[in-house]
Chains A and B, each alone.
Chain A
Amino acid sequence: MVSERLPSREAYYQALAESLPDGVAVVTSLGNASYLWARLRDRPLNFYMEDAMGLAMPVTLGLALAQPGRKVVGVEGDGGLLMHLGALVTVGAMAPENLTLLVVQNGVHAASGGQALTNPDLDLAALARWAGLRNAETVRSADGFRAAFRTAFAGRGPSLLALATEPDLEIVTPPRPFNPIVIKQRFMDALGVPDYVPSVFGKGESSS
């Protein structure tokens, strides 16, 4: 990384919290990507992932395809992106217009203690364009993020913003430990997804 002073993840997240319209679904990847977002802006339309490294982006893709009428934001790390770089190609191929990806580029495996990444200096925006995403940009300031997010969000996706940042290695404690089933159900309720009604109650299908 270059020697300029980069914003913290928290500075980007504050800007995201200010910029995020109501009704947008947000998926966050493991570690502080989820824990800090839960501290700053816990809301039912957040789907927090823990562990399952590299899968936040494909989960967000599936969600965007199933909810074409809703804006969807996915937050992935640079390590997670590299782990399933192929998924970026799938995003480009499916090209959902409602999808915005934010990649926290800190150059390390932050959630596991800050081990060096295979290549910390990749131009992730160029990778995203190569993979077929409509808009991709690297930002290096919170103000730059606000402007780029506004532009990406107003236009047709898929978009990717790489957020150049300093590593945050201290694990943030979320407001309460995540219960995966509760997180999932709360999120699906907020989306208005019908519950599955078991066959013993006469349905055996999804029903509002």
Chain B
Amino acid sequence: MTLVASPRYLQTVSVEAHRPRETLAALKKAGFRVAVCVPDSWLGGILKQIDEDPAMTLVRATHEEEALAIACGARLGGARAVLLVQNVGLLTMGAGMVSLAMRYQFPILIVASYRGSPRDPVFYHIPKGRATEPVLQGLGLRYAVATAEPIGPQVSRAAAFVEESSAPFVLLLGREDIQW
């Protein structure tokens, strides 16, 4: 029997660019002044970069639903706001997502580390990875999973999508896209 790897598994990520730097550069170019976070091990480095950036305000929230509400308040006050959370936060922020962010049509970009996906086989993350996309679909929330293409344009498109749709949008990122 011959095993043939499917093209999906032959996908490679370009190594010439530092993808987390491209992610942050695209967020800054899109004008995000406020970043609200609940950390994940993949997010620690980029959060430090944001914290040290005088052009951005980093809010360290205690819970992802709280973080979403802070971001909505910031956008209400005219500041573009991005959430940086682990995908488990998409499960914990469900009530605020439908009752606040979606009901009031807040354009909030959510950048989430995609833990427990088939590309992150960690046993305790896998239950969250399994639930993530069905929950987003159930909420009626638009989302994209980052591909191996350059990450900057993917972040820029997601940032445009939130404002054009007056709605939240989730970009699920792999380790190489976000871990500084």
Contact = CB atoms under 8 A, between A and B. Distances in A.
Interface of A: 25, 27, 47, 49, 51-52, 54-55, 58-67, 84, 86-87, 89-90, 93-94, 180-181, 183-184, 187-188, 191-194, 196, 198-199, 204-206
B39 interface: no
B100 A90 contact: no
Contacts of A89: 62
A184 B78 contact: no
B96 A63 contact: no
B95 A52 contact: yes
B44 interface: no
Contact of A55 (B57, B80, B96): B96
Interface SS, A side: helix
A55 B62 contact: no
Contacts of B99: 51-52, 55
A204 B62 contact: no
Contact of A65 (B31, B34, B67, B163): B34
B100 A59 contact: yes
B71 interface: yes
Which among B76, B107, B160 has the greatest number of chain A C-beta atoms within 10 A?
A: B76
Contact of B66 (A58, A188, A193, A196): A58
Nearest to A181: B105
Given A90-B59, A199-B164, A62 B77 contact: yes
Interface string B91-129: 000011001100111110000000000000000000000
A62 B70 contact: yes
A89 B60 CA distance: 10
A55 B76 contact: no
A54 B66 CA distance: 8
A58 B105 contact: no
B95 to A, nearest CB: 7
A193 B78 contact: yes
Sorted nearest first, the 10 A-B pairs with minimum C-beta distance are A62-B73, A66-B77, A86-B62, A193-B78, A58-B69, A66-B79, A59-B73, A62-B74, A55-B69, A62-B70
Given A51-B99, A52-B95, A180-B103, A66 B78 contact: yes
B65 interface: yes
Given A58-B73, A63-B74, 13 more contacts: A54-B65, A61-B59, A61-B73, A62-B34, A62-B73, A65-B70, A66-B73, A87-B61, A180-B105, A184-B106, A188-B76, A191-B78, A196-B107
B72 interface: yes
Contacts of A55: 65-66, 69, 72, 96, 99-100
B96 A65 contact: no
Given A87-B62, A90-B70, A59 B76 contact: yes
Contacts of A65: 34, 57, 59, 70, 73-74, 77, 79
